[in-house]
Amino acid sequence: MMDRSLALARVGGDAELLREIAQLFIGDYPRVLVELHEALDRGDAKTVERTAHGLKGSVSNFGAPEAVEAARTIEMLGRDQRLAEAEQVIRTLELALAALLPELESL
């Protein structure tokens, strides 16, 4: 879910800028998820941490707390090299992003 008021506040009330940021995110996030899965498959905790950190920043622009929290947890798990726990949280992140996508597309 997206908090439109928060998202608009983050871009100074510029709805067109928010739309542009959303379109960039929509185009890029599938690649980021692939990168996250590939890093997890390789056991590359540093890349899991870095990729989740970037994704956390991106989704925070939209006031999407479920996605932010999942990305934050994945980032922490990568930092702590607890990758076995990350797979389930990545599924949670994917569900949160799937719920967010229609809202972003409607901007």
* DSSP states of 3-45: -HHHHHHHTTT-HHHHHHHHHHHHHHHHHHHHHHHHHHHHT-H
Domain that includes residue 54, residue range: 4-105
Q: Which pLDDT score, from 0 to 100, does residue 10 have? A: 95
Q: Which pLDDT score, from 0 to 100, does residue 26 have? A: 98
Domain count, the chain: 1
What residue type is assigned to position 85 of the chain?
Answer: E
Cα distances (angstroms) measured from residue 74 to each of 3, 19, 88, 104: 22, 27, 10, 23
- Token pair for 36: 């996250």
Give the pLDDT band of residue 91 (cuts 50, 70, 90).
very high
CATH, residue 78 = 1.20.120
Q: Which pLDDT score, from 0 to 100, does residue 49 have? A: 98
Q: Are 41 and 19 in contact (CB under 8 A)?
A: no
Task: Convert the pLDDT of each residue in 27-84 to its tens digit.
Answer: 999 999 999 999 999 999 999 999 999 999 999 999 999 999 999 999 999 999 999 9
Question: Model pTM?
Answer: 0.94
